[in-house]
Structure 1
Amino acid sequence: MTDLADDTKAAAGDPDGPFQAAGRVAGWLGLTPFIVLSLWLYGIAPDHPWRSGTILLLLVYSAVVLSFLGGVRWGVALTAEGADKRPGELWLALPPALVGWIAVIVPVPLSFAVLAVAFAALGAWDALAAHKNRLPQWYGRLRMVLTACAVAMLLLAFASTS
């Protein structure tokens, strides 16, 4: 089902429709700092007085979002039922926060490469979970688009700081 079909379904009185719409809006709003900060970093001179602050803002924001997405995985593991309840998934939900923390303390531009790989891996995991009906389909599609954009912006930040 496409996003247009989701919107049509929401308009037809689907009880999850408003939830999906809110999730999409929140997701795109959450992507905004990636776009703004990465494009700003790309466009400013290496000696610009705000450059180091921009790098720090983007690094910390990325680490926080990565940690948040790990928390989403923790929530999926906690709410799973039956055969989908796997204790190992609780442990697998922890590395995103640790990777985000490590990314903040390793040297730039490596930090942006680490974050890009981590976002791509977590996005793929969420898409696979949606494919297996462990997450809503709309969420899996949204995560793939948002992940692609976030990874592109982190790679732009990597190139801008190399």
Structure 2
Amino acid sequence: MTDFADDLHEADAKPDGPLEVAGRLVGWLGLTPFIVLSLWLFGIAPDHPWRGGTIHLLLVYGAVVLSFLGGVRWGAALSPEPAAKPSELWLALPPVLIGWSAVFAPTPAAFALLAVAFAAQGAWDAFAAHSGRLPGWYGRLRVVLTVGAVVTLLIAFAATS
């Protein structure tokens, strides 16, 4: 059995499939609002008229993406191979509830909550890919996108502290 680090680099020797290429493009495009909004938030003055709207946009976007990632786990649980346990459906619910609650939490705590939730979800997805529950390319992509999302949410945390 290979270790996790070997699995992360295994795809370097294989050509990318069309699903992996599309997934990478969509993933990077999905990370773009995190980058733009967090950098904008970090760069504007605390009394800027768009500050409140920027905070709201970033929080809602983070909640939506976190909910989407919970939905990915539902999709994996519904696939016939390998057979899923009913608990996998239940475990897809916390990302939705955490994202939703972050929208109503005070800043900067809301950004910290989202950063922790994204880190946990990203780790769960990477380990699921390592175990064969999700495709290996998806696990590798999730590691990179998770780091990006967590860093941008920490920037937003710093900007609102």
Give TM-score scaled by structure 1 length.
0.91
What is residue 24 of structure 1 aligned with on the other side?
Answer: 24
1:94-133 Cα shifts (integer Å, max 9, x gaps): 1111100100001011000000000000000000001101
Cα distance in 1 for partners of 2:152, 2:11 equals: 23
Q: CA deviation at 1:3?
A: 5.7
Match of 1:21, SS state, is helix
Query: For 1:41-120, what aligned pairs fall within 5 Å after superposition?
Result: 41-81=41-81, 84-120=83-119
What amino acid is the match of 1:54?
T
What is residue 145 of structure 1 aligned with on the other side?
Answer: 144
What is residue 13 of structure 1 aligned with on the other side?
Answer: none
Greater relative contact order: 1 or 2 (C-alpha under 8 angstroms, separation 6 or more)? 2
Q: CA RMSD in A?
A: 1.3
Is the alpha carbon distance of 1:5 and 1:29 closer, same or farther for their aligned partners in structure 2, counting shifts above 3 Å? Answer: farther
What amino acid is the match of 1:81?
E
Is the alpha carbon distance of 1:33 and 1:3 closer, same or farther for their aligned partners in structure 2, counting shifts above 3 Å? Answer: farther
Cα distance in 2 for partners of 1:26, 1:85 equals: 26
What is residue 124 of structure 2 aligned with on the other side?
Answer: 125
Q: CA deviation at 1:135?
A: 0.7
Unaligned ranges ≥5, structure 1 = 11-16
Give TM-score scaled by structure 2 length.
0.91
Q: CA deviation at 1:4?
A: 4.7
Tell me, yes or no, if structure 1 residue 136 matches structure 2 residue 127.
no
1:20-78 Cα shifts (integer Å, max 9, x gaps): 10000000000000000000000000000110000000000000000000000111111
Is the alpha carbon distance of 1:78 and 1:32 closer, same or farther for their aligned partners in structure 2, counting shifts above 3 Å? Answer: same
Q: CA deviation at 1:2?
A: 5.3
Q: CA deviation at 1:80?
A: 4.4
